[in-house]
């Protein structure tokens, strides 16, 4: 068995299954903890890479398209800290990481696992019922239907429409934009309809303002993964279950009426750049947190 064990998380590979055990401590993202131990069959794996870095190295597992509801639902938009298939490795454990990657690649070649999309999910979705506590409402999926109840933060358009109940059989797809520097959202697309309204105005959409980034990413990612697992597999619909989210979500509300729009735009752009530097390991968690706090104080 090839393995790498460390505080950030443990990977164990026995030739046919990769067990991914989340790490522990305050530095471990809540989504990894919520997912718990993952058992990834070899047939779900497309490849694995070892990525050297300045502050630390990484192991990155690539899954076959359509193999995992979480990966399918989030579409590569998970923050690096939340991605369960990405493992930070200290430089002193680089040899163990390279050995594990080589073992997985050798098994893929020996078993002739194709890199093509799968025709069914090889990993389970999150258990239901599951609830997403968004900023403007609460969405619950019980395995058969989705119900949205609006809260105080909802726009009047949503409040006036009343609670929304959509049967799973009437749902075509679900769309996810994670809260990060800008607002995030989860949008439901019923069959025969495709809204182009702003997320804050769409009664089939709940919005996350991004002030509770870790919690919102965790809850919303699990919610869309549960829905995706329950919907028909993309191989039966001729495409992905989740449409691509817009590159830019709705901007954050201004902190005060006198703020300059150009100033806010510049701050948001800088925050996005800092996020990219953090995701790639150039900035540590502490450096990113301090820089982010300083910039947000300007909004």
Local confidence band at 128 (pLDDT 50, 70, 90 cut-offs): very high
pLDDT value of residue 277: 62
Q: What gap in Å lies between CA 273 and CA 282, rounded to an integer?
A: 11
Q: What gap in Å lies between CA 139 and CA 150, rounded to an integer?
A: 9
Other C-beta atoms lying within 10 Å of the C-beta of residue 218: 20
Q: What gap in Å lies between CA 58 and CA 66, rounded to an integer?
A: 24
Among 81-95, 138-152, 219-233, 280-294, the minimum mean pLDDT is found in: 280-294
What is 69-127 written as a DSSP string?
HHHHHHTT-S-GGG-TTEEEE-GGGHHHHHHHHHHHHHHHHHTT---SPPSS-SSPPPP
Tokens of 76: 């590569």
- Residue 237: pLDDT over 80: no
Q: What gap in Å lies between CA 27 and CA 8, rounded to an integer?
A: 8
pLDDT value of residue 241: 44
Q: How far apart are the first and last CA of the chain?
A: 52
What contacts 90, CB < 8 A, 6 or more positions away? 6, 56, 57
pLDDT value of residue 287: 65
Backbone angles phi, psi at 270, to 5 degrees: -65, -40
Q: What is the mean pLDDT of residues 233-250?
A: 56
Which DSSP symbol is given to 43?
G
Q: Is the pTM of this model over 0.85?
A: no
């Amino acid at each position: 068995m090839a393995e790498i064990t460390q505080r950030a998380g443990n990977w164990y590979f026995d030739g046919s299954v990769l067990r991914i055990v989340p790490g522990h401590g305050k530095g471990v993202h809540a989504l990894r903890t919520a997912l718990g131990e993952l058992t990834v069959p070899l047939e779900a794996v497309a490849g694995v890479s070892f990525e050297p870095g300045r502050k630390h190295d990484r192991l990155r597992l690539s899954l076959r398209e359509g193999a995992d509801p979480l990966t399918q639902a989030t579409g590569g938009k998970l923050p690096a800290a939340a991605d369960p298939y990405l493992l930070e490795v200290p430089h002193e454990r680089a040899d163990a990481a390279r050995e594990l990657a080589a073992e997985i690649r050798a098994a893929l070649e020996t078993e002739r696992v194709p890199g093509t999309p799968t025709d069914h999910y090889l990993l389970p979705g999150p258990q239901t019922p599951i609830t997403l506590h968004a900023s403007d409402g609460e969405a619950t999926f019980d395995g058969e239907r989705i119900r949205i109840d609006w809260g105080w933060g909802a726009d009047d358009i949503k409040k006036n429409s009343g609670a929304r109940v959509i049967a799973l059989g009437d749902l075509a797809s679900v769309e996810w934009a994670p809260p990060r520097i800008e607002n995030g959202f989860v949008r439901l697309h019923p069959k025969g309809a495709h809204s182009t309204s702003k997320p804050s105005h769409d009664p089939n959409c709940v919005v996350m303002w991004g002030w509770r980034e870790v919690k919102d990413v965790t809850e919303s990612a699990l919610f869309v993964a549960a829905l995706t697992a329950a919907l028909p597999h993309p191989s039966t619909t001729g495409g992905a279950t989740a449409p691509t989210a817009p590159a830019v979500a709705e901007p954050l509300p201004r902190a005060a009426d006198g703020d300059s729009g150009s100033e806010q735009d510049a701050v948001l752009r800088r925050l996005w750049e800092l996020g990219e530097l953090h995701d790639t390991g150039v900035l540590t968690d502490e450096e990113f947190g301090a820089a982010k706090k300083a910039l947000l104080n300007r909004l």
